[in-house]
């Protein structure tokens, strides 16, 4: 079984080197590692050249600033039977690729899977708090349809999603994260990443994989034997206001085009986001300005509603 790894990256050569070093420790090497670089300088290209002697690297430069576009671009140039996607700010467990290979031997009927994120608890605690604070957050979020007391990797009626990275057993899932997932290449005969999504392309993985799940339920899995670290690099992040506007807009397009049911749940969840960010600001976990950014993003979303429903998302770059 041949495995191609695709990494879309933008100005993160230092983070990417950490990932490359973890490839050097792999008990099983992938057939190829395809780097699709959107950077405006040659630091990532030079890094790839330095590691080409020890890793099966293929470097491509792409002028289009879109994680979605670059992942499709990489797939078109891949040769493996299995396509694995990794974020550029991850570090692999030494048996990661070997575990992907084992996954398909154990689950030959599967179309795709994703791994455990070893340090996810730290990330969730930083984002949502811990103890009583986390319980309160989850309770309020559940009221607004942003979360649920259900367990699993589920897409909610509000178009938000749940995760369960602490699970110890293999689970059927409704969505995959391109931070750390893999699929049979044949799936791209039917499903590609949404190229309307630009730059960070928030939610492109969920939109792509949820459509696979709807057509082929029971074929996507969480497989905890494969594991990695995800560091959530701070390099080359969008401005908070731009990031929130992108998130709100792309979330609506996902809800409108992929999630069946009453769209009230989407808007009720948007209200909940504003409330939760305001409460976070009240206890000094984030600035008050974020609440205004969410209000402003929803106002802009309403102003562009007709265009979005027609699939026109070009205004996101205006």
| pLDDT per position as a tens digit, 68-79 | 999 999 999 999
196-233 tens-digit pLDDT: 999 889 999 999 999 999 999 999 999 999 999 999 88
81-140 tens-digit pLDDT: 999 999 999 999 999 999 999 999 999 999 999 999 999 888 777 777 778 888 898 899
Residues 60 and 78: their CA atoms lie apart, in Å, by 11
Token representation of residue 116: 């455990």
| SS3 per residue for 10-23 | CCCHHHHHHHHHHH
Q: Are strands 220-230 and 112-117 parallel, antiparallel or unpaired?
A: parallel
CB environment 111-124: b (16+ within 10 A), e (fewer):
bbbbbbbeeeeeeb
What pLDDT is attached to residue 121?
84
pLDDT confidence bin for 318, thresholds 50/70/90: low
Q: Which of 259, 100, 111, 84 is nearest to 180 (CA)?
A: 84
Q: For all residues of the chain together, what is the average pLDDT?
A: 94
Q: Are strands 112-117 and 82-86 parallel, antiparallel or unpaired?
A: unpaired
Q: Which of 113, 114, 111, 115 is nearest to 185 (CA)?
A: 111
Burial of 286 (0-12, 13-18, 19+ CB in 10 A): middle
pLDDT confidence bin for 178, thresholds 50/70/90: very high
H/E element holding 269? helix 264-282
Q: Report whether 30 contacts 3 (CB < 8 A).
A: yes
pTM of the model: 0.94
54-68 tens-digit pLDDT: 999 999 999 999 999
Token representation of residue 186: 């044949």
What pLDDT is attached to residue 34?
98
The full length of the chain comes to 318
What pLDDT is attached to residue 234?
77
How confident is the model over 25-34, as a mean pLDDT? 98
Q: Report whether 264 contacts 316 (CB < 8 A).
A: no
Token representation of residue 66: 């879109």
Query: DSSP states of 192-219 as a string?
Result: ---TT--BT-TTHHHHHHHHHHHHSTT-
pLDDT confidence bin for 264, thresholds 50/70/90: very high
What pLDDT is attached to residue 204?
96
pLDDT at 317 over 90: no
What pLDDT is attached to residue 131?
83
């Amino acid at each position: 079984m041949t495995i191609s790894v695709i990494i879309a990256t933008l100005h993160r050569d230092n983070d990417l080197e950490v990932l490359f070093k973890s490839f050097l420790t792999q008990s099983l090497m992938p057939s190829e590692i395809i780097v699709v670089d959107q950077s405006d300088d040659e630091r990532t290209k030079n890094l790839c050249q330095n590691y080409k002697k020890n890793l099966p690297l293929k470097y491509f430069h792409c002028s289009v600033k879109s994680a979605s576009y670059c992942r499709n671009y990489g797939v078109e140039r891949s040769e493996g039977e299995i396509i694995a996607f990794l974020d550029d700010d991850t570090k692999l467990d030494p048996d990661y690729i070997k575990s992907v290979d084992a996954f398909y031997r154990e689950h030959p009927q599967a179309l795709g899977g994703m791994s455990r994120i070893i340090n996810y608890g730290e990330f969730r605690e930083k984002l949502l708090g811990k103890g009583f604070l986390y319980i309160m957050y989850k309770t309020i979020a559940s009221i607004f349809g942003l979360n649920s007391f259900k367990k699993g990797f589920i897409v909610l009626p509000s178009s938000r999603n749940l995760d369960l990275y602490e699970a110890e057993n293999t689970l059927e899932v409704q969505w995959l994260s391109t931070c750390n997932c893999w699929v049979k290449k044949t799936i791209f005969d039917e499903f590609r990443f949404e190229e309307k999504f630009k730059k960070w392309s928030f939610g492109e993985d969920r939109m792509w994989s949820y459509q696979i799940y709807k057509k082929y339920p029971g074929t996507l899995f969480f497989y905890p034997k494969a594991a990695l670290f995800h560091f959530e690099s701070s390099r080359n992040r969008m401005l908070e206001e731009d990031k929130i506007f992108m998130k709100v807009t792309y979330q609506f397009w996902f809800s409108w085009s992929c999630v069946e049911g009453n769209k009230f749940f989407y808007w009720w969840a948007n209200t909940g986001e504003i409330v939760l960010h305001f409460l976070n600001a009240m206890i000094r976990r984030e600035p008050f300005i974020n609440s205004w950014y969410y209000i402003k993003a929803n106002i802009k979303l309403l102003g562009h509603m007709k265009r979005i429903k027609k699939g026109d998302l070009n205004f996101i770059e205006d």
